[in-house]
């Protein structure tokens, strides 16, 4: 078989941990290729090489051409890839990130499949948003109502503080430009947060579709997880950007996306998200191994993988 040119596929131990990576990179109207262990981006402004293992999620907008070799490198290095609409405000498809462990996925499936456990996780997520209050006895309906009041209060307060007019959250996915500046900014900020949340979830081996509050969508858990950070990160940034550049600023979504990116890095949000996700799903092992495969047995429990069990079967039959 003909050998491939370029660097070999990296070992798991060689890859950067998800929490140590740059949060995300948005590209449009560019050509993406590969040179050794870097993706090479070419557009009208020139050429730049980006180490693939240092990016958490790559958002591909309109006009992007990506080669098969580049996609091979992206998959090997564990970078999440999301195909989005113009300005990064809609998600059309995503590529699976590198993961070798099903520990969090199994824990997530157990928790979401049991009503009491599911409610407990939902309460834990709401408790993160209400650290000074005890929500352990509240029903899901009460929690949703409490969250709704909190978010409306945040919108009003930020509007008063930044002098940005606020008449409610309005977004038409078929006509992005019909929205007000603040609604455009909020949409762009949340889209970036969804991309980062998705990247953390799949990189750690959990499922983006098994939500505890949201349900019925392949990104239900992404929406759950992102909601933990909107009030603190993306909503304030959207108001600040509109206040800074004005209601009629050109490309308010790009300005918002760049501000969100800087906040992700400066606030070390990735480190926090990794810890939060493990806390929610009950993973207490800080450095759990990720390259272990076992065989499941209904009577004996986990059995070693890679062992020939034929002799044991013969012994049982005799």
Binding site: residue ranges? 147, 214, 227
| List of E strands, the chain | 22-27, 30-35, 38-43, 46-51, 55-60, 64-66, 80-84, 91-95, 294-297, 301-304
d(CA 256, CA 246): 12
Side-chain-facing half-sphere of 35: CA atoms under 13 Å: 8
Question: What pairs with residue 26 in β-bridges?
Answer: 59
Structure tokens at 52: 């693939």
**CB-based contacts of 116, cutoff 8 Å, min separation 6:** none
- Output the known binding site for Mn(2+): 147, 214, 227
What is the sign of the dihedral through the CA atoms of 175, 180, 181 and 185?
Answer: negative
209 and 218 Cβ atoms separated by less than 8 Å: yes
Tell me the HSE value of 111 on the side-chain side, using a 13 A CA sphere: 26
Could you give the C-alpha distances from 60 to 52, 79, 90, 122, 253, in angstroms and in order? 14, 13, 11, 32, 15
């Amino acid at each position: 078989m003909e050998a491939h040119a370029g660097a070999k596929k990296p070992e798991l131990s060689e890859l950067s941990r998800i929490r140590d990576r740059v949060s995300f990179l948005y590209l449009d109207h560019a050509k993406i290729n590969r040179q050794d262990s870097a993706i090479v981006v070419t557009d009208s402004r020139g050429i730049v090489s980006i180490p693939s293992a240092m990016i958490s999620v790559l958002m591909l907008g309109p006009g992007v051409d990506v080669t098969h070799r580049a996609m091979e490198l992206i998959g090997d290095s564990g970078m999440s890839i999301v195909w989005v609409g113009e300005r990064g405000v809609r998600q059309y498809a995503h590529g699976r990130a590198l993961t070798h462990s099903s520990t969090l996925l199994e824990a997530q499936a157990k928790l979401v499949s049991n009503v009491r456990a599911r409610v407990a996780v939902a309460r834990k997520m709401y408790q993160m948003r209400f650290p000074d209050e005890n929500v352990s006895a509240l029903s899901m309906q009460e929690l949703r109502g409490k969250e709704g009041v909190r978010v409306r209060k945040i919108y009003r307060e930020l509007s008063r503080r930044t002098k940005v007019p606020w008449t409610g959250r309005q977004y038409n996915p078929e006509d992005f430009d019909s929205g007000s500046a603040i609604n455009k900014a909020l949409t762009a900020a949340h889209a970036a947060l969804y991309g980062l949340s998705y990247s953390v979830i799949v990189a750690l081996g959990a499922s983006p579709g098994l939500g505890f509050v949201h349900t019925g969508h392949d990104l239900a858990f992404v929406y759950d997880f992102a909601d933990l950070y909107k009030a603190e990160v993306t909503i304030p940034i959207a108001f600040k950007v509109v206040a800074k550049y004005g209601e009629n600023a050109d490309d308010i979504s790009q300005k918002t996306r760049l501000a969100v990116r800087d906040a992700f890095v400066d606030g070390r949000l990735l480190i926090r998200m990794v810890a939060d996700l493990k806390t929610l799903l009950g993973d207490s092992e800080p450095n759990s191994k990720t390259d272990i495969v076992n065989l499941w047995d209904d009577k004996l429990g986990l059995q070693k993988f890679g062992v020939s069990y034929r002799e044991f079967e013969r012994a049982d039959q005799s």
